[in-house]
């Protein structure tokens, strides 16, 4: 089959093949312009349902809809060329049955062009993961802390900090791998457990508050850039963008109020005035100017 694209996008099998290899670099993105930047450095871009909290100021991811995910997934696909784009299936659009999950995943893949979906849950989702994988939908699993379960677990706290709590989490990760997922996110689990699961299962583990031993790492972009007001312990701020954004907005507001912006460089003169300016410049040996 021929393709017009010069840059080949990474696929779910490419990511699966990276088990125990070079670390897999993943970040979230919800917009075309951030996707363009992330795409240059990352293997996987996750359009996470965290967009409900980050973009929309929601308290949890529960109200996020499939339409919201599709809109932002499409934007991220337009902004990226190389990374595998994975779109989260939001709460309520996949848990009822494997058929419901397939219908939602198929809509996401058709309408965004993304290469895979992510869903939360271990053993309880194994049958669904197998059903999707057998029908052409690459699935990234997500176990440990699963934010869509907030109303049953009660808080966003780390999991598996007592060894007695390990067996169900390990069983969840194994079930996801055995069902045919190509990778699994391990969120907010005790470090030795992240290490142990990574050694136990045959698919790449993508850690977020798990272990440096995971096959890859992911963070929410706005958290690591210093834009989110509150962040979990596992977030390292690789940038502090908030003060520079605030400064730029403060400067803009001040220049608008004092009528210093827009200046002559940022407005369109009449054509006759522009031509006269060019002729004057040409007379002085100046070349053509950018319109």
Q: Which residues bind ligand KIV (CB under 6 A)?
A: 28, 46, 48-50, 88, 185, 187, 208, 218, 220
Q: How far is the CB of 37 from ligand KIV (least distance, A)?
A: 17
Residue with smaller CB distance to ligand KIV, 65 or 278: 65
Residue with smaller CB distance to ligand KIV, 29 or 128: 29
Residue with smaller CB distance to ligand KIV, 175 or 220: 220
Residue with smaller CB distance to ligand KIV, 25 or 278: 25
Strand partners, 206: 185, 216
Whether 187 is catalytic is yes
Nearest by Cα to 48 from 32, 36, 64, 59: 64
Residue with smaller CB distance to ligand KIV, 43 or 187: 187
Burial class from Cβ neighbours inside 10 Å (0-12, 13-18, 19+) for residue 226 reads middle
Catalytic residue among 187, 222, 240, 255: 187
Q: How far is the CB of 61 from ligand KIV (least distance, A)?
A: 7
Tokens standing for residue 288? 């053509």
Sign of the Cα torsion 200, 50, 221, 27 reads positive
Nearest by Cα to 15 from 105, 83, 63: 83
Task: Output the CA torsion 149→178→194→117 (10° steps).
Answer: -50
Residue of minimal CB distance from ligand KIV?
48
Q: How far is the CB of 215 from ligand KIV (least distance, A)?
A: 14
Centroid of chain to Cα 94:
19
Q: How far is the CB of 103 from ligand KIV (least distance, A)?
A: 21
Tokens standing for residue 98? 């494997």
Residue with smaller CB distance to ligand KIV, 184 or 284: 184
Neighbouring residues of 158: CB distance < 8 A, sequence distance ≥ 6:
145, 188, 189, 190, 209, 233
Strand partners, 29: none
Q: How far is the CB of 171 from ligand KIV (least distance, A)?
A: 20
Tokens standing for residue 117? 């979906």
Neighbouring residues of 24: CB distance < 8 A, sequence distance ≥ 6:
15, 18, 43, 44, 183, 204, 206, 215, 216, 217
Q: How far is the CB of 74 from ligand KIV (least distance, A)?
A: 17
Nearest by Cα to 45 from 112, 90, 97, 107: 112
CA distance 173 to 159: 13
Supply the residues annotated as catalytic. 187
């Amino acid at each position: 089959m021929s393709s017009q694209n010069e840059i080949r996008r990474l696929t779910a099998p490419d990511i699966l093949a990276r088990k125990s290899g070079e670390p897999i670099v993943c970040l979230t993105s919800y917009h075309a312009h951030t996707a363009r930047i992330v795409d240059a450095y990352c293997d996987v871009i996750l359009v996470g349902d965290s967009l409900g909290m980050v973009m929309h100021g929601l308290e949890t991811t529960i109200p996020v809809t499939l339409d919201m995910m599709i809109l932002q997934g499409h934007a991220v696909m337009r902004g990226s060329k190389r990374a595998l784009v994975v779109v989260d299936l939001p709460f309520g659009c996949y848990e009822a049955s494997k058929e419901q999950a397939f219908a939602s995943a198929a809509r996401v893949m058709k309408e965004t062009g993304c290469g895979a979906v992510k869903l939360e849950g271990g053993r309880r989702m194994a049958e669904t993961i197998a059903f999707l994988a057998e029908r052409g939908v690459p699935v990234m699993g997500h176990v440990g802390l699963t934010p869509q379960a907030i109303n049953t677990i009660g808080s966003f706290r780390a999991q598996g900090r007592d060894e007695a709590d390990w067996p169900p989490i390990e069983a969840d990760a194994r079930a996801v791998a055995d069902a045919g997922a190509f990778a699994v996110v391990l969120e907010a689990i005790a470090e030795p457990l992240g290490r142990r699961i990574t050694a136990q299962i045959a698919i790449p583990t993508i850690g977020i508050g798990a272990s440096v031993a995971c096959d890859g790492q992911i963070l929410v972009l706005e958290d690591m850039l210093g834009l989110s007001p509150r962040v979990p312990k596992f977030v390292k701020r690789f940038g502090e963008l908030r003060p520079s954004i605030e400064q730029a907005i403060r400067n803009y507001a001040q220049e608008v109020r004092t009528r210093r912006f827009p200046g002559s460089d940022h407005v369109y003169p009449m054509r006759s005035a522009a031509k006269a300016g060019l002729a004057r410049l040409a007379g002085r040996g100046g070349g053509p100017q950018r319109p």
